[in-house]
Amino acid sequence: MLHLHTARAAPPFPLRLASHRANPHRVTEAAISIDTLRKVYAGAGKAPDKLALDGVSFDVPRGQIFGLLGPNGAGKSTLINILSGMVRKTSGSARIWGFDIDADPRNAKASIGIVPQEIVFDPFFTPAEALELQAGLFGVPKAHRRTAELLRAVRLEDKADAYARTLSGGMKRRLLVAKAMVHSPPILVLDEPTAGVDIDLRQQLWDYVRELNRAGVTIVLTTHYLEEAEELCDRIAIINHGKLIANKPTAEMVGMAREKLIVLTLDQDIAALPADPDFDKVSKLTERVIEIGYSKDRLNAGQVMSRVRAAGYDIVDVSTREPDLEDVFLNLTKAVA
Ligand SMILES: Nc1ncnc2c1ncn2[C@@H]1O[C@H](COP(=O)(O)OP(=O)(O)OP(=O)(O)O)[C@@H](O)[C@H]1O
């Protein structure tokens, strides 16, 4: 049972109250709204300038788990670092919970909690001290601090007074999530939180992320793990080479994979691969096993098998594969590579 009051109707401490009162319509806005965001890193020495974000625009709807996917170097961290105020954008604009990051940076920052990719800790602080310090940095007065509650939420209450260096990797990750929540932001961003994390821990972390989301927190996560995005996210955006190349509800995104694969075990060694203009690709996996890729718009599995039989083979075993996010991802990133 989660006791966080992260997304309560009354805006969290400390800065949002006044602005929300001043503009109640903001409540209906997207959690994050990004408009034509561009970032060029100036080249050092003889190195050329690097265009990291090339006019990216999208909204993260409130209340969702939103996945930001992209290959290495796509621009994901740049985007998140702009939101957190660590990187200065070159042009474009961004609003966090309705607050423009230029015009209202304090409220924008107060509305977002960021769990960084790397685990950085002062080993001599206990988890309780680390949370108190972090709350202090955000200007949360003592009376509003929720150290014990947060430690309970991330199941670290019995480690409250242990030195950080004695925590396991998983405990440290959970402490990072608690640290990102000290100011009760309505948005939590997790930057590749499960890179290098074992399966058990990953599952625990996702359970907790789901719990936070059920409590009303909008979640943005970047990940390289496509299955993870597929399992967790309501909506997925893909960026590649600094450009947004897709942004859809997860089910729709997965449905974009047109190609299906069928693996057939034949009754005899394959002499020549069956050629058919409707097959997108045919590959021999072993002497008697072939894999055929076909577009589900043009053929169904029965028709594929009939055509292989017509080429003189009997089929002794068959399996098909549904398209998944990986197929979409590969197709999309290939198209603009
Ligand atoms: N401080 C910097 N100076 C110059 N170039 C940079 C800087 N930071 C990032 N880049 C470049 O900008 C591009 C986008 O990098 P970014 O870290 O945003 O990508 P990413 O999608 O987060 O990648 P990863 O998944 O590997 O973390 C890359 O080509 C990277 O080399």
The whole-angstrom separation of Cα 65 and Cα 63 is: 7
Mutate to test the pocket of ligand 1, among 76, 190, 223, 238 (most ligand atoms within 8 A of CB): 76
Residue 14: pLDDT band by 50, 70, 90 thresholds?
very low
In percent, the amount of the chain with pLDDT more than 70 equals 88
The whole-angstrom separation of Cα 196 and Cα 148 is: 28
The residue contributing the CA closest to ligand 1 atom 24 is 72
C-beta of 68 in contact with ligand 1 (< 6 A): no
Give the start-to-end residue ranges of the domains of the chain: 16-254, 257-335
For the stretch 317-328, pLDDT in tens is 999 876 667 777
Residue 155: pLDDT band by 50, 70, 90 thresholds?
confident
CATH (residue range 257-335): 3.30.70.1560
Please tell me what DSSP assigns to residue 70.
-
For the stretch 85-106, pLDDT in tens is 999 999 999 999 999 999 999 9
| pTM greater than 0.80 (yes/no) | no
C-beta of 116 in contact with ligand 1 (< 6 A): no
Structure tokens at 319: 């399996």
Q: 2-11, 179-188, 261-270, 273-282: which range is least confident on average?
A: 2-11
Name which residue leads in pLDDT, 200 or 28: 200
3-state helix, strand, coil in the chain (%, to 5): 35, 25, 40
Q: Which helix (H) or strand (E) holds 134?
A: helix 127-137
Q: How far is the CA of 134 from the centre of ligand 1 (A)?
A: 27
The residue contributing the CA closest to ligand 1 atom 18 is 75
Closest CA to 184 of 235, 245, 141: 141
Q: How far is the CA of 201 from the centre of ligand 1 (A)?
A: 27
The whole-angstrom separation of Cα 193 and Cα 124 is: 23
Name which residue leads in pLDDT, 124 or 305: 305
Q: 11-20, 26-35, 256-265: which range is least confident on average?
A: 11-20
Is the separation of the CB atoms in 40 and 82 below 8 Å? no
Structure tokens at 326: 């990986």
Q: What is 82-100 written as a DSSP string? A: HHTTSS--SEEEEEETTEE
In percent, the amount of the chain with pLDDT more than 90 equals 47
The whole-angstrom separation of Cα 187 and Cα 113 is: 6
The residue contributing the CA closest to ligand 1 atom 3 is 41
Provide the pLDDT for residue 20: 35
Provide the pLDDT for residue 231: 86
Phi, psi of 41 (to 5 degrees): -85, 130
C-beta of 50 in contact with ligand 1 (< 6 A): yes
The residue contributing the CA closest to ligand 1 atom 6 is 41
Asked if the model's pLDDT at residue 12 lies above 90, the reply is no
Architecture of domain 16-254: 3-Layer(aba) Sandwich (3.40)
Residue carrying structure tokens 């603009």: 336
The whole-angstrom separation of Cα 146 and Cα 27 is: 25
Name which residue leads in pLDDT, 200 or 218: 218
Mutate to test the pocket of ligand 1, among 56, 77, 244 (most ligand atoms within 8 A of CB): 77
Provide the pLDDT for residue 52: 97
Average pLDDT score, the chain: 84
